[in-house]
């Protein structure tokens, strides 16, 4: 399974897709990128006259690239198709170090801590275009393939 296959299986679409490009994926982690376009709706009210990307959106971007893309890769031995992957985040602990402004491109790197019984836990880091650390944390979730039974 390659990066394009994984992207085609993501259960998100615009405006809630926060993965532009999956740069690498392997058993131990992922690396991907996303650009926060200036016209995204959440910038209209966060914050007035000084838009900043909300922390919850940064967390979601880290989860989509670092947890979900890796989870799909790890599930590749099962019969995957669009719409049959069930995902639920079970925990998140993030530390935010610098803001992300409209128009910025970020890169997310994840490293698997463990994957067992369909629970995946990862360390994630987000960097800006100058390779400055934006946020970091630990994310965990459950991933399962829905069967017709």
User: Is position 14 annotated as part of the catalytic site?
Assistant: no
* Alpha helices, DSSP H, located in the chain: 3-9, 55-62, 69-74
- DSSP bridge partners of 142: 88, 119
- DSSP bridge partners of 109: 31, 125
**46 exposure class (CB count in 10 Å sphere: 0-12, 13-18, 19+):** middle
Catalytic residue among 14, 26, 46, 118: 46
Task: Tell me the catalytic residues.
Answer: 46
């Amino acid at each position: 399974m390659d990066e394009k296959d994984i992207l085609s299986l993501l259960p998100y679409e615009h405006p809630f897709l926060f993965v532009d490009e999956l740069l690498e994926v392997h058993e131990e982690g992922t690396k991907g990128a996303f650009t926060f376009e200036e016209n995204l709706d959440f910038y209209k009210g966060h914050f007035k006259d000084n838009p900043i990307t909300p922390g919850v959106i940064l967390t979601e971007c880290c989860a989509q690239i670092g947890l979900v893309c890796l989870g799909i890769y790890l599930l590749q031995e099962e019969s995957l198709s669009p719409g049959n992957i069930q995902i639920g985040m079970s925990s998140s602990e993030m530390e935010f170090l610098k803001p992300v402004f409209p128009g910025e491109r970020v890169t997310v790197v994840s490293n698997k801590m463990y994957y067992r019984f369909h629970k995946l836990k990862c360390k994630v880091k987000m960097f800006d275009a100058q390779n400055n650390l934006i946020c970091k944390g630990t994310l965990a979730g459950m991933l399962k393939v829905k069967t017709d039974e």
